[in-house]
């Protein structure tokens, strides 16, 4: 295998040969979820994209420290306070509830947990220290108990906008009055520390006021604490590039004098009806609603591993639109690939191969080394599936050694790198098979106008937590 990993680096606007700071080791930080509501499928796509990247780096024999934070303080203080009053809950109870929910969803998608999952509220002291350092360097100022980063002063020596490609003049002309802007010297300045208003429940003492840290600062504090002043990879969704990541670059440079990250990776958005999936617009579907089929958007329930496979069929830097038609097509592809994986266990090897197995398995690496090109990898895996079927039908042959190689690499790429599971492994298969039989019996009853039996089956299934939906095309089911 002679191809080498190339990664698209937002900082350079180009694909680059990947070279870690320390050979064989990688520090990777990914912005985690805000845990004051359920994660939607768009959030999940970003975390699945970086899980795939993490898995491929591990498969490439790197020792990876993967840090992904939990945003449980800072910019969502006001929302937490509002919800708390309505729900009569403690803020940390909300945080706990949605953190547990997030972990459950990540588990269903077969995402590896990160090596470290720091919470912002556990790193207030570190954040205060960075504010002090930036104040000492003269690149921040205190105003009415809050501390702001002085963007224009920073920009005199450095380039604010180097990551996102924005120009400070354009940003200045585009700004309108913002809340609390009177405290700032410039509308571009962002809070490192915010003084808490009386209604704020989550607050910490600091040299400037009882308050809370700025959102951008959380990530700077937690990434550098666990990975060093400069580390290899920082990831997040494309929508975080500006201002969040731009501010992280500025804070890192202001506090240590060094660029904090060598490779900035941005995963693209999941859309629904052509619009970004987003909590604020309500254009979302929750993972649970998708797995149970209990939603008005999709025609039936989809298994988490099928949803993951669907996401893997798109490049992580491409926009992906979510629809029943696209998922159904993926489900067919998934079944084809899983059948081939099962066949691979039973086909017999011989003395020689009628196709180039090594070229095929090397193409798996070539795809992933080209900026984690999973759609090309999946296409090559389908090529392999076609060969497996030909071997089975006697149209092609494979040597024993090549069969071992194909088994090893296909398992590695399907299960370890793409993180796909068989339905057996995820426990869905037997129920699917049993439900096929039950729905078949119910169909027969309906054809004989035996409505009593048909309704009995539907009602008893409902008691058991399984909902049957009837339509012109037939019946589908979903479980709670």
d(CA 142, CA 241): 26
Which single residue is written with the structure tokens 């501010």? 247
Residue 269 binding target from Zn ion, ligand AMP, none, CB below 5 to 8 Å by type: ligand AMP
Tell me which of 10, 43, 164, 220 binds ligand AMP, using CB under 6 A.
Answer: 43
Contact letters for ligand AMP, residues 219-258 (x by CB under 6 A): -----------------xx-xx------------------
Distance in angstroms between the alpha carbons of the first and the last residue of the chain? 46
Piece of the chain touching ligand AMP by CB under 6 A; list 40-48, 61-69, 170-178, 373-381: 40-48
Q: How far is the CB of 237 from ligand AMP (least distance, A)?
A: 2
Which single residue is written with the structure tokens 């020596």? 157
- The 3-state DSSP class for residue 251 equals helix
Residue 219 binding target from ligand AMP, Zn ion, none, CB below 5 to 8 Å by type: Zn ion
d(CA 98, CA 48): 18
**Which region holds residue 161: left if phi is over 0, alpha if psi is between -120 and 50, else beta?**
left
Q: What interhelical angle do 124-136 and 215-227 show, nearest 10? A: 100
Tell me which of 46, 99, 127, 209 binds ligand AMP, using CB under 6 A.
Answer: 46
Residue 46 binding target from ligand AMP, Zn ion, none, CB below 5 to 8 Å by type: ligand AMP
Measured from the CB atom, the residue of 45 and 421 that comes closer to ligand AMP is 45
Sorted by sequence, the CB contacts under 8 Å of residue 106 that are 6+ apart come out as 44, 47, 113
If we measure between CA atoms, which residue out of 413, 420, 407 comes closest to residue 366?
Answer: 413
Piece of the chain touching ligand AMP by CB under 6 A; list 28-36, 87-95, 151-159, 403-411: 28-36
Measured from the CB atom, the residue of 241 and 407 that comes closer to ligand AMP is 241
Measured from the CB atom, the residue of 172 and 319 that comes closer to ligand AMP is 319
Q: How far is the CB of 418 from Zn ion (least distance, A)?
A: 26
User: In the complex, which residues of this chain contact Zn ion (CB under 5 A)?
Assistant: 31, 219
Measured from the CB atom, the residue of 99 and 478 that comes closer to ligand AMP is 99
- Concatenated DSSP letters of 302-324: --HHHHHHHHHTS-TTS-EEE-H
Q: How far is the CB of 73 from ligand AMP (least distance, A)?
A: 13
Tell me which of 194, 276, 308, 421 binds ligand AMP, using CB under 6 A.
Answer: 276
Identify the helix (H) or strand (E) that includes residue 218.
helix 215-227
Residue 147 binding target from ligand AMP, Zn ion, none, CB below 5 to 8 Å by type: none
Rg, C-alpha atoms of the chain: 26
Q: How far is the CB of 243 from ligand AMP (least distance, A)?
A: 13
Sorted by sequence, the CB contacts under 8 Å of residue 268 that are 6+ apart come out as 237, 238, 316, 317, 318, 319, 320
What is the CB-side half-sphere exposure of residue 71 using CA atoms within 13 A? 22
Q: Kindly state whether residue 45 participates in binding ligand AMP, applying the rule CB under 6 A.
A: yes
Which single residue is written with the structure tokens 């990975």? 227
Q: Kindly state whether residue 270 participates in binding ligand AMP, applying the rule CB under 6 A.
A: yes
Contact residues toward ligand AMP (CB under 6 A) are 31, 33-34, 42-43, 45-46, 236-237, 239-240, 269-270, 276-278
């Amino acid at each position: 295998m002679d191809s080498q990993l190339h990664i698209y680096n937002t900082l350079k606007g180009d694909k680059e040969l990947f070279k870690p700071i320390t050979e064989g080791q990688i520090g990777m930080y990914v912005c985690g979820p805000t845990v004051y509501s359920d994660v939607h499928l768009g959030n999940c796509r970003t975390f699945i994209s970086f899980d795939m990247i993490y898995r491929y780096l591990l498969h490439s024999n790197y020792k990876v420290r993967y840090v992904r934070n939990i945003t449980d303080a800072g910019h969502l203080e006001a929302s937490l306070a509002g919800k708390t009053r309505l729900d009569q809950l403690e803020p940390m109870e909300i945080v706990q509830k949605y953190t547990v929910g997030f972990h459950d969803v990540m588990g269903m998608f077969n995402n590896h947990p990160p090596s470290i999952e720091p919470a912002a509220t556990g790193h207030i002291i570190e954040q205060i220290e960075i504010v002090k350092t930036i104040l000492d360097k003269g690149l921040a100022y205190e105003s009415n108990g809050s501390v702001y980063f002085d963007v224009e002063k920073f920009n005199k020596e450095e380039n604010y906008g180097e990551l996102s490609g924005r120009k400070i003049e354009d940003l200045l002309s585009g700004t309108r009055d913002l809340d609390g802007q009177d405290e700032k010297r410039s509308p571009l300045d962002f809070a490192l520390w915010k003084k808490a208003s009386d209604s704020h429940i989550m607050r910490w003492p600091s040299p400037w006021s009882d308050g809370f840290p700025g959102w951008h600062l959380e990530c700077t504090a937690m990434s550098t604490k666990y990975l060093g002043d400069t580390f290899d990879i920082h990831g997040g969704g494309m929508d975080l590039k500006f201002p969040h990541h731009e501010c992280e670059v500025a804070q890192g440079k202001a506090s240590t004098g060094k660029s904090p990250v060598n490779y900035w990776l941005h995963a693209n958005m999941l859309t629904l009806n052509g619009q970004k999936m987003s909590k604020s617009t309500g254009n979302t579907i929750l993972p649970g609603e998708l797995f149970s089929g209990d939603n008005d958007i999709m025609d039936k329930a989809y298994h988490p591993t099928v949803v993951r496979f669907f996401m893997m069929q798109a490049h992580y830097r491409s926009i992906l639109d979510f629809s029943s038609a696209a998922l159904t097509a993926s489900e067919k592809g998934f079944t084809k690939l899983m059948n081939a994986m099962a066949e691979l266990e039973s086909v017999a090897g011989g003395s020689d191969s009628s196709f180039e197995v090594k070229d095929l398995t090397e193409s798996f690496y070539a795809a992933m080394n080209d900026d984690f090109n999973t759609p090309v990898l999946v296409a090559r895996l389908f090529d392999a599936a076609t060969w497996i079927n030909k071997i089975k039908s006697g149209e092609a042959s494979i040597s024993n050694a090549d069969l071992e190689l194909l088994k090893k690499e296909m398992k590695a790429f399907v299960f370890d790198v793409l993180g796909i599971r068989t339905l057996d492994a995820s426990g869905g298969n037997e129920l699917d098979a049993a439900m096929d039989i039950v729905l078949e019996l119910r169909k027969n009853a309906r054809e004989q106008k035996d409505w009593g039996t048909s309704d009995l089956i539907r009602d008893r299934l409902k008691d058991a937590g399984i909902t049957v939906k009837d339509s012109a095309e037939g019946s589908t089911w979903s479980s709670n």
